Amino acid sequence: MEVLGPGVPAPDLQVMDDLGRMHRSPAVVLVSNNPYACDRARQPGTRPTLDSGLLGVLVLDAFGRGHSSPGHMWTATQLELTAPAPLHAGIDGEAIDLTPPLRFAIRPGALRVRLPRP
């Protein structure tokens, strides 16, 4: 698997955000079951809840593209990514190539976890 560095072109990936803005050729897209906390008030990198019924979406723009911020975060119930070729991805730490278009949706309550009483 290749690593995206300063001299490597970003894949021709397109992601539409919740405000209808198109993100073209981002360096990284993270789609999670429930959004991750990124503010300092909460523990960054954690998910405060696992039952929000929302996908967490984090898009990091390719370096040097002149964007006003390095990335954008939002939540959604569904998301579609398009690209002309397979995309390198990681699912639960496993490397895989995915064939676009990629459609992500959340199904609230689909997984139930039972814990023993203390």
Give a yes or no: residue 59 inside a domain: yes
Give a yes or no: residue 74 inside a domain: yes
Domain count, the chain: 1
Give a yes or no: residue 86 inside a domain: yes
Q: What is the pLDDT of residues 63-88, one digit of tens each?
A: 665 556 678 889 998 899 999 999 88
Give a yes or no: residue 3 inside a domain: no
Give a yes or no: residue 50 inside a domain: yes
Q: Is 14 helix (H, G, I), strand (E, B) or coil?
A: strand
The answer, yes or no, to whether residue 99 has pLDDT greater than 90, is yes
- Can you give the pLDDT at residue 94? 93
CA pair distance 27, 16, nearest whole angstrom: 15
- The whole-model pTM stands at 0.75
Domain range for 94 is 31-105
Burial class (CB in 10 A: 0-12, 13-18, 19+), 111: exposed
Give a yes or no: residue 13 inside a domain: no
